[in-house]
Structure 1
Amino acid sequence: MPAPSILVLVGMSLLIGCANGFSGFGNQATLYLQSPADQIAVASGLLRTATYLGAIFSSSLIGITFGPAATDHGFHTLAWVLLGIGALALILTVLDRSIPRVAE
């Protein structure tokens, strides 16, 4: 398998970094819009805690699926696990009756 160009690797890193930065910004902006003024500090702490727990979970998942070396098999296993997690999140979202079906 030929090695990818350094430009491809840099480009992919930039895309992933921008997506990660914008998602963090969006989550924080939503937190400020949805939280009552007297609860913003608590909500910010919970958001930060959830972010750290997500980072711990994701690094553990990467370590478990790849093991001592990154391989194609590990990458495919990781993709299937993430697909399963995404499907579970979608099912839980669809079944959540507290989410309004129509925007107000």
Structure 2
Amino acid sequence: MLAAVGLLAFAGGCASQARVDAVVRISEVSFAPHEIRIPVGGTVEWRFEDGGLPHEVHADGVFDSGVLGERTFRFTFDTPGDVEYRCSIHPYMSGIVHVG
């Protein structure tokens, strides 16, 4: 039962059908742009475009894309504030989302 609850929370956070307010490209082992601003309720889409090199985008306690290659990941931010994120595979890769 707990796994199902986690899956529902993850699927809701992905916002697969939501409008995209900002796009972050993952290529050449970096996030571009590094820093973005979106409104509360805004959705960010990370595009994994690094030739199949695996990356993972996460912000502790907020979201986690899982390890992906050539795909996209979306997350909708419902709480104002600054959210720092990084790639656990390449810890020097980091970015920030300013919400609100």
Higher helix share: 1
Give yes or no for TM over 0.5. no
Higher relative contact order (CA 8 A, sep 6+): 2
TM-score, normalized by length of structure 2? 0.28
Higher strand share: 2
